[in-house]
A and B are shown apart, each in its own frame.
Chain A
Amino acid sequence: MTPQALVVRMLPPFAGWLALAALALPGGSPLRGAAVGLFLAAGPGAALTGLCGPALAARPAEGPVEGRDAGFARGSDRLERLMLAVLLSIAAVLLVGTVLIAVGVFSGYLVLLTLTVLTTVTALCPRLRASPARRTLPAASPPTTRKGSAL
């Protein structure tokens, strides 16, 4: 693993621990808000998409039939990862908050700590990869248009 890849991988957990440290700042302080908001908005999801990324990318996504622009497809994939990072983070906050309040041990600190620990564990896990034998299949698969269609 290159040092750059390691930094990218450990960025989400680092943001989580930074947010925990920011709780020492006075309530309502912009720095505290930025650290907490940034981690909750993207941290857990970024770690999860990082973990699953190689396996998820094994098969190309459905795209426009025009298919003229490879850069467009890459842009869509980047947008998809960004969307997943944000929406999965939000989903994680909702679910962890719900679980903690349902079992009666709710506190803001505990929600953040749980998410940070989960993010750290996820970042440390080995990346999930698709099996090599099956990875070659999609490249040979025909275009997404129906047989005989001019569309």
Chain B
Amino acid sequence: MTDLSDLPPVSWARRIAAVRPFLALSAALALWVYAVRHTDVSRLDDFGLVTALHPAFWAGLAVLTTGFWFTVRGGRRGDAWPAAYVLGLLVMERATQAVLYPTPLYAWAWKHDAVVGHLLTAGRLQGADRLGDMAVYDQWPGFFAAQAALVRLLGVEDAAMYMAWWPLASSVLLLLPLLLIYRTFTEDRRLIWTAVWLFCVADWVGQDYFSPQSVAFALHLGVLAVVLRRYARTGGHPARQGQALWTVLITVMVAAIVVSHQLTPAMLVVSLVALAFTRRHRDWTPSATAVVVFLAWCLTAALPFLSAAMPELIRAVGDIGGNVEAGYGTTPTGTGALVTSWAARLLSAAVLLLALAGAVRQRVLRHRAWPLLLLAAAPLPMFAAGSYGSEMIFRVLMFMLPGAAFFAAAALLPRVPTLATAATAATAATAGTAAATAAPPTSPPRGARLAAWAPLAVLLAGTLAFVPSYSGKDRVSYFPPREVALVRQLFDEAPDGSLVVAANRNYPLALEAYWRTDHYWFLDDDRRHVDEILRDPAGVLARDMAAVEPPARAYFLLTQGQMAHSEMNGPLDASELRRVRDAVAASPRFEPVAENDAGVLYVLKPASREGER
């Protein structure tokens, strides 16, 4: 029987220490809420969201990172606080845009919304004879079919109603397999959560938006987590018990990846093959399963696209220089675009260098987590496989990150001892507890004290660098409601078979109703033709648009999204595009349809169409 008076008194310092994680997290989130309420995104400059954000946002991010570091460094046993901090980070990183902008970001996301719209309208898959280049999406329809079902089941008009929140949802989804992978190699919660944190801040590539790859990447990590945990050889023997069932489960996930995305199955195959070469995971069942399912899809449903694209795909094999080269019209132009582009490059380089340092420094961990090191290196050969529309370098980086983040975190933490050293240290610690408590405390040397702050400084720098890397091009990615309304007006009135001519495809609803309208983006054309347009904009454009047969119409659309994209990526500057716009406005061949401060819409007069022919 005890009385409360028998219990040792709890000091105030302990109580404060216990609530410190809560205080820092709450303060960070409060600063974030204040920041988003006081941020104006109506006039973005070339630095995107970076210069528009209220300073409280940066303070919140710094408080969050510091709070996280002291929470995990303190060696608290639970996972709840680190998990809460990581969720807080994802909210600040991936939900800020959804809260700030009234419309979804990224022309690519709007395109995917259009594909969902096509499936809802057609109700079945169609080929290139009906859809042209866009038929490729009908050959990998998994994500779009699921979204079409979701739109109907939620009873909303289209996916644009919720797709702004997709980056947050898809990033939270990644946490489950990522944590499981890291927990396969260490029990050290500091290492696990620091790696998760670094993964979140280094994954600036922006494939978390409303896209098939966002889901396929989570499934890819899920398959890897199962393979790492369930296909390892124990005691030198392959693990056979219950494996047929595990193979069924990974087959379901692999099939979902294969029907949804082109590149992810290839990345999965190279990762699984790399694992199968290790002694610990020498089981070819997962890689054979992935290859068989992938080939089955490629040789049936995806064959029309692949057979048409095969000559180009074969040409790209081995051309590493060409595959990593930035495409035409993707050169960062202007101070803002250059600075944010370099921030992203430095962030990626820093994480990869840290990973290298971690792998070199942590000999024991390198041995224990050798499969993770292989998974970080496995995507590299894909540079030789193709350019993937000048995106291969970003995709390879993204697939390297789960492994790289683990070793980058290891570089920031104390060396992992061998089991024997750890056991000896534990025994010595137990025996020496009394002596240690009696001895006066000695302060560490100044260099060691400074070094103790270095990991926090690295985490802070990486976390802050994420913002320009991820949101530095928001001037290009954001389309204000007026721009959306202007383009919607176009598609509301455009008869079937109409042609939309624009500078590039960076505008909302760019591929809306693509199954009944045509598009021509003149900056995608070769430079000689672009120069011809610049010499006589109205005349050359009218000639390009003349083949449209009535009742279809030929529209000229120029919006601020197109201008921002062209200006920040090189092909033409704003004054050149304004000259094109003014020439069209002054030409008697065109008549205005609609105009607002986000863009202009003209239609080619039927009479001038006859004249051009």
Contacts and interface: CB of A to CB of B under 8 A. Distances in A.
Nearest to A58: B242
B152 A28 contact: no
B18 interface: no
Contacts of B450: none
A79 B222 CA distance: 11
B431 interface: no
B185 A64 contact: yes
A5 interface: no
Contact of A94 (B215, B229, B239): B215
Closest 3 interchain pairs by CB? A27-B155, A108-B152, A97-B145
Given A59-B241, A137-B241, A95 B230 contact: no
Contact of A112 (B149, B185, B222, B368): B149
Is the interface on chain A under 10, 10 to 19, 20 to 34, or 35 or more residues?
Answer: 35 or more
B183 A64 contact: yes
A58 B228 contact: no
A48 to B, nearest CB: 8
Nearest to A85: B176
Interface of A: 19, 23, 25-29, 32-33, 36-37, 40, 48, 52, 55-56, 58-59, 61-69, 72, 75-76, 79-80, 82-84, 86-88, 90-95, 97-98, 100-102, 104, 106-109, 111-112, 128, 130, 134-135, 137-138, 141-142, 144-145, 147, 150-151
Contact of B149 (A28, A111, A150): A111
Given A98-B145, A106-B123, A138-B241, A91 B184 contact: no
B449 interface: no
A55 B253 CA distance: 19
A26 B155 contact: yes
Contacts of A93: 146, 149-150
Most chain B CB within a 10 A radius of its CB, from A32, A76, A87, A94: A94
B91 to A, nearest CB: 18
14 contacts: A25-B155, A27-B154, A52-B245, A58-B242, A65-B368, A76-B180, A83-B176, A83-B222, A94-B143, A97-B141, A101-B124, A128-B245, A144-B232, A144-B235
A124 to B, nearest CB: 19
Given A88-B253, A130-B242, A138-B241, A94 B146 contact: yes
Contacts of A33: 154
B419 interface: yes
B259 A62 contact: no
Contacts of A40: 150, 153
Interface string B164-200: 0000000001001101100111111000000000000
Nearest to A63: B184
B16 interface: no
Interface string B130-161: 00000000000111011011111111100001
B263 interface: no
